[in-house]
Structure 1
Amino acid sequence: MSLSKVCNRVDYFLEVFTSALMVALVLNVTWQVVTRFFTNDPSSFTEELARFFLIWIAFLGSAHAFRKGAHLGLDYFVEKFSPAAQAKIVKTILLFVVLFSVCILIVGGSCLAYLAWELDQKSASLGLSISIVYLAIPISGLLFLLFSAESFKNYSNN
């Protein structure tokens, strides 16, 4: 299976998963509002769960946006160069994305998740391991790495 097909499948799953997280987030916050304003017993876990959903949505959504080319960029300046120079600029940017993904997201995020697991850190309301929340960081780093490889391959073929 080609790299593009793998990326298409991963990206489709990512889109469905982040959409499901968004639906869960909306339902969770709706429940929070209902219990806060319409009952005398406000829900104790909804704020924490909403925060965890937002963390996962932000990290996974950023990888999805990267693949779709939806991240904020300075295309105006890059378009002023020749096509050959544009390809070199994009490849350089992709190398910086790879460096950031490996050093900060994958290595740093894995260390953070491992440390939270080693220290047995639990969330206050849900009792959920904080390492599960932190896993969004290295997973998004792996996704950035995968999507960068696809982009680099596409620019090398042109």
Structure 2
Amino acid sequence: MKRAVDAVLRTTVIAIFAVLVVCVCWQVVSRYVLGTPSVLTDEIARFLFMWLALIGGAYTFGARRHLAIDLLTSGLTGRKQLASEAAVLVVVIAFALVVMVWGGGTLVARTFASGQVTPALRISMGWVYAAIPFAGIVISYFCLLFFADIARGRMPSAEGDVELPLE
């Protein structure tokens, strides 16, 4: 299941990035060659960048390639290392569920209810903000997978990585 989720996220990030590059290139051409900047591609690029950052962050977290400060925990081994990893995951899943899923979901619902639309594209801002709870759900999913690894007595790792034995 994780491989399928990773594949969907990876494909989504690549597709968003490709569209983002096209939008930005067209923006440059329309502004400097044609002399009339495209309002649509400017707005599309801004909103796609938000989605790219949030989905890319969730994907990176699931691949265990995110930035981590492990100064205090790098020397730990065995059960202490597992306990430390579990404590970090508790903080991450709490943030993802409370701030991103609940808070972001509330923002999305309120935005849809208010009828707020984007200036150029005229789509609901709720679709733009939906990236927040979506990324929170994905991060929570990965946290649960990592908790399952800890419950089995091993450090979570991205699939394909070599797991170091715990002492």
TM-score between the two structures when normalised by the length of structure 1: 0.93
Q: Percent of pairs identical after alignment? A: 29
TM-score between the two structures when normalised by the length of structure 2: 0.88
* Structure 2 residue matching 1:50: 3-state secondary structure: helix
1:1-158 equivalences in 2 (<5 Å): 6-158=1-153
Segments of structure 1 that go 5 or more residues without pairing to the other structure are 1-5
Runs (4+) of structure 1 exceeding 3 A deviation are none
Once the two structures are superposed, residues 114-142 of structure 1 have per-residue CA deviations (whole angstroms, 9 ceiling, x without a partner) of 11100000000111110000110111111
For residue 28 of structure 1, what is the amino acid of its counterpart?
C
Count of matched residue pairs: 153
Segments of structure 2 that go 5 or more residues without pairing to the other structure are 154-167
For residue 44 of structure 2, what is the amino acid of its counterpart?
L
* Structure 2 residue matching 1:77: 3-state secondary structure: coil
* Structure 2 residue matching 1:75: 3-state secondary structure: coil
Separation in structure 2 between the aligned mates of residue 79 and residue 56 of structure 1, nearest angstrom: 32
Q: In proportion to residue count, which structure has more helix? A: 1
For residue 138 of structure 2, what is the amino acid of its counterpart?
L
**Pairwise CA RMSD:** 1.0
Separation in structure 2 between the aligned mates of residue 88 and residue 24 of structure 1, nearest angstrom: 42
1:117·1:129 contact (CA, 8 Å) conserved in 2? Answer: yes
Quote how far apart the aligned CAs of 1:74 are: 2.0
